[in-house]
Amino acid sequence: MKKLESSLLNMTVVLTVISVIAGGLLAYVNGVTEGPIREIKEKALADGIKSVLQANEATVQQIDTIDGGLAIVYKTDKGTAVQAINNSAFGGSIKVLVGFDAEGTILGYSVLEHAETPGLGAKAGEWFQKGAKGDIIGKQPAKNNLTVSKDGGEVDAITASTITSRAFLGAVNDAYKAYVGEAVDANSGATQQVNGNN
C-alpha cells in the first residue's frame, strides 16, 4: 500500500473525518445520558424539597419562575421551597434550595450545585445548618440581617471563604425575595457590602 503524501489537503480531510466522528460520538453519548441525568436532578430536587421542609412526604407544585429562572418557587402542603442561584460565588455560581414556613421562617436549606473549593467554600452545605457557626435555620430574612458579620450582618462567614458566604447568603436572601414575590439579583453578594445602618 502506498503511503499517503503529507499535504494540506490530506491533513484537512483527515482532521475533518476525525472531528465528524468525535462530534457524532459526543452527540450520541449526550443523547444517551440526557434522560438519566434529568431524572437524577429531578430526584435530587424532590428529596431536597422534602429535606428543607423537614417533611417525609410533600405534594409539590411549581408555582412560579422568577427573573428567567434565577429563582423557582415550589408550593407544597408542608411549606414553600425556593430554588435560587447566585452567580458571585468564588467558583462561579451557587444554587441553593431554601424551605420557608407560612411566616417566612427558614426551615432548612440544601446546596444543590456549586463549584467552590473543597474544604473551604464547599463547607456551605454544613456551615449554615442548625447548631453550626453560621446557623440561619429558624431565622427570618425579613427580620434578621442575613449577611456576613464582616458586612454588618448577623451571620458568621465560613473561615477563609467570605466570598462564598456572601454568595450563599445572597442566594438565601434572593430565595426569600422570590418567596414574597419580589425580583431577585443573582449577581449580588461578592462585591456588595451592606452598611449596618440599612
Quote the CA–CA distance of 70 and 55 in Å, as a whole number. 25
Average pLDDT of the segment spanning 109-119: 79
Q: How far is CA 25 from CA 14, 84, 129, in A?
A: 17, 34, 43
pTM of the model: 0.73
Q: Can you read off the three cell numbers belonging to residue 169? A: 447568603
DSSP state of 150: G
Pairwise CA distance, residues 189 & 163, whole Å: 7
Do strands 80-89 and 60-66 pair parallel, antiparallel, or not at all (unpaired)? unpaired
**Residue 185: which pLDDT band, with cuts at 50, 70 and 90?**
low
**pLDDT tens digits, one per residue of 144-183:** 999 999 999 999 988 888 888 998 999 999 999 999 887 6
Radius of gyration of the chain (CA): 22
**Model confidence pLDDT, tens digit, residues 134-153:** 999 999 999 999 999 999 99
**The C-alpha cell that represents 15 in the structure block:** 482532521
Q: What values do phi and psi take at 95, rounded to 5?
A: -115, 125
Distance (Å, whole) CA 193 – CA 198: 11
pLDDT tens-digit readout, 77-100: 888 999 998 887 777 788 899 999
Helical ranges in 53-134 per DSSP H: 124-127
Under DSSP, the state recorded for 121 is G
Give the pLDDT confidence score for residue 41 in this predicted structure: 83
Pairing of β 71-76 and β 60-66: antiparallel
DSSP letter (8 states) at residue 148? B
Phi, psi of 50 (to 5 degrees): -60, -40
Predicted pLDDT at 40:
87
